[in-house]
Chains A and B, each alone.
Chain A
Amino acid sequence: KNEVEQSPQNLTAQEGEFITINCSYSVGISALHWLQQHPGGGIVSLFMLSSGKKKHGRLIATINIQEKHSSLHITASHPRDSAVYICAVRYNTDKLIFGTGTRLQVFP
């Protein structure tokens, strides 16, 4: 069982839809990251969270420390949002533990 679980694994949406990707982890963490990876491309860090909520443009990330759960929301989705979204956590060490990713496709 992976220490970091993401759902769904695959997600398709129509342009304009509101999208939610979930991430659960098993023990207390010091920080959680949301990353974006385009096919064949590099990795972009979207958010780093240790509590509460962050917003950047159409992206919103929340974390509930007590429930060990985080969500990434995309409002007014667009085909260019199509990518793999990866949740990663950092415990009391310096390395990240990654989820397996959520593959998002947004159709026009």
Chain B
Amino acid sequence: NAGVMQNPRHLVRRRGQEARLRCSPMKGHSHVYWYRQLPEEGLKFMVYLQKENIIDESGMPKERFSAEFPKEGPSILRIQQVVRGDSAAYFCASSPYSQGPNYGYTFGSGTRLTVV
């Protein structure tokens, strides 16, 4: 039973290119969350998705960032026209529920994006 799988682990992009980060949740988990960790800063919420729906995108930058979680396949975080300030570790987490006392997260290993 694989955990949350993120790929790639490391991604290098030149300024202006597109970055695509993938997250496959744990089997049976239908809720996916993306978090960003800027260098020397804490983790910040970006977006919460369920299958085919964006539930909360209040942490997403208004431009260049988008996320999806299609019916089939992994969740994708897409960053268009990357800039140096996008360099960070991007973590995905999944859970089986959205409410209730047993609501726990499983985190992926993260994708470390470096923009050169």
Cβ A88 vs Cβ B104 within 8 A: no
Cβ B105 vs Cβ A45 within 8 A: yes
Say if the beta carbon of A86 comes within 8 Å of chain B.
yes
Interface size class of B (residues with CB under 8 A): 20 to 34
Which chain B positions have C-beta within 8 A of A86? 42-43
Residues of A within 8 A of B (CB): 2, 31, 33, 35, 40-45, 48, 50, 86, 88, 90, 93-101
Cβ A94 vs Cβ B55 within 8 A: yes
Residues of B within 8 A of A (CB): 31, 33, 35, 41-45, 48, 55-56, 58-59, 91, 93, 98, 101, 103-110, 112
- How many angstroms between the C-alpha atoms of A41 and B108 in the bound complex? 10
Cβ A95 vs Cβ B59 within 8 A: yes
Which chain B positions have C-beta within 8 A of A40? 112
